[in-house]
């Protein structure tokens, strides 16, 4: 009798969990159609990644109900998880392919890193705030992105031990393009970085290295949290 009760409870809680995850998947499908495809995101690897990564697992508990909203969300320590469209736009620009190596500066929640990890298994990410490095790492592990390597450090210096990178994405606004990151970009590689002053409108820049030559191009006006330096 008691066994039947426990078994029934188990069935109900599994059913509830499955229901919840199906509800979230539906919100993601809608997010991809209305926020991404409608605004011109076309790259199939990017769209598939955005449809797959459980964004609600990367926001604080009390923000879960807003996880798929068309906006950035606070993640503590005055930082934010970027709006889904921005994550998709930057990912698409990187043109990342399976097996290529990607570096992210500004782990935050770990969400952008998870999106990259859906495309390649070589993802490195650096976060300057210790608690967020831990938060991001926990979110990544809980969602099964074990291959992503997280480091607590000032991302200005990149990660020379794993360079060169095919793609570098910076998710905090820097007054200039850090020279070590340009250095660690592979020939033929692409970097996307918001450049400008904190709390003002910044320019999202595309940096391309070809035959040793570096070309930069402005893409669009954006607003990111500041790129900070030194200790946390
Ligand atoms: N990519 C993140 C967005 C986080 S916001 C996500 O998907 O959630 C940007 C992050 O950059 C913040 O967590 C901030 O602490 C971090 N950051 C700022 N300056 C940095 C630096 N010099 N090195 C590494 N991380 C930095």
Query: At a CB cut-off of 8 Å and minimum separation 6, what does 141 contact?
Result: none
What pLDDT is recorded for position 231? 56
Catalytic residues: 82
Answer whether residue 228 is part of any domain: no
Q: Which domain holds residue 142?
A: 5-222
For the cut 70, the answer to whether the pLDDT of residue 193 exceeds it is yes
For residue 124, the cross-strand partners are 103, 149
Answer whether residue 230 is part of any domain: no
Domains held by the chain: number: 1
Range scoring the smallest mean pLDDT among 16-30, 51-65, 120-134, 152-166: 16-30
Per-residue DSSP letters for 140-174? HHHTT-TT-EEEES-GGG--GGG--EEEEEE-SBB
Answer whether residue 229 is part of any domain: no
Answer whether residue 232 is part of any domain: no
What pLDDT is recorded for position 50? 98
Range scoring the smallest mean pLDDT among 67-71, 73-77, 104-108, 196-200: 196-200
Asked if residue 129 has its Cβ within 6 Å of ligand 1, the reply is yes
Answer whether residue 63 is part of any domain: yes
108 CA → ligand 1 middle, Å: 5
Per residue in 24-65, pLDDT (tens digit) is 999 999 999 999 999 999 999 999 999 999 999 999 999 999
Answer whether residue 200 is part of any domain: yes
Answer whether residue 130 is part of any domain: yes
Give the CATH number for residue 186: 3.40.50.150
Full-model pTM: 0.94
Answer whether residue 58 is part of any domain: yes
Report whether 114 contacts 148 (CB < 8 A). yes
Asked if residue 227 has its Cβ within 6 Å of ligand 1, the reply is yes
Per residue in 46-55, pLDDT (tens digit) is 999 999 999 9
222 CA → ligand 1 middle, Å: 15
Rounded to whole angstroms, how far apart are CA atoms 2 and 121? 46
For the cut 60, the answer to whether the pLDDT of residue 232 exceeds it is no
When the pLDDT of each residue in the chain is averaged and rounded to a whole number, the result is 95
């Amino acid at each position: 009798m008691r066994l039947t009760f426990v078994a029934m409870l188990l069935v109900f809680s599994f059913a509830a969990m499955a229901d919840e995850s199906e509800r979230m998947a539906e919100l993601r499908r809608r997010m991809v159609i209305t926020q991404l495809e409608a605004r011109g995101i076309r790259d199939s690897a990017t769209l598939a990644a955005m449809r797959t990564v459980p964004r609600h697992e990367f926001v604080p508990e009390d923000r879960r109900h807003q996880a798929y909203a068309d906006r950035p969300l606070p993640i503590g320590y005055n930082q934010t998880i970027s709006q889904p469209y921005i994550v998709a736009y930057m990912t698409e620009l990187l043109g990342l392919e399976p097996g290529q190596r990607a570096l992210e500066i500004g782990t935050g929640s770990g969400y952008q890193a998870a999106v990259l990890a859906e495309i390649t298994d070589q993802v490195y990410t650096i976060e300057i705030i210790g608690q967020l490095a831990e938060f991001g790492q926990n979110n990544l592990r809980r969602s099964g992105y074990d291959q992503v390597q997280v480091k607590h450090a000032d991302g200005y210096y990149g990660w020379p031990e794993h360079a060169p990178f095919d793609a570098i994405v910076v998710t905090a606004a820097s007054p200039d393009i850090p020279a070590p990151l340009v250095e660690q970009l592979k020939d033929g590689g692409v970097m996307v970085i918001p450049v400008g002053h904190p709390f003002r409108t910044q320019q999202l820049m595309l940096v391309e290295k070809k035959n040793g030559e570096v070309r930069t191009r402005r893409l669009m006006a954006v607003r990111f949290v500041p790129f900070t330096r030194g200790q946390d």
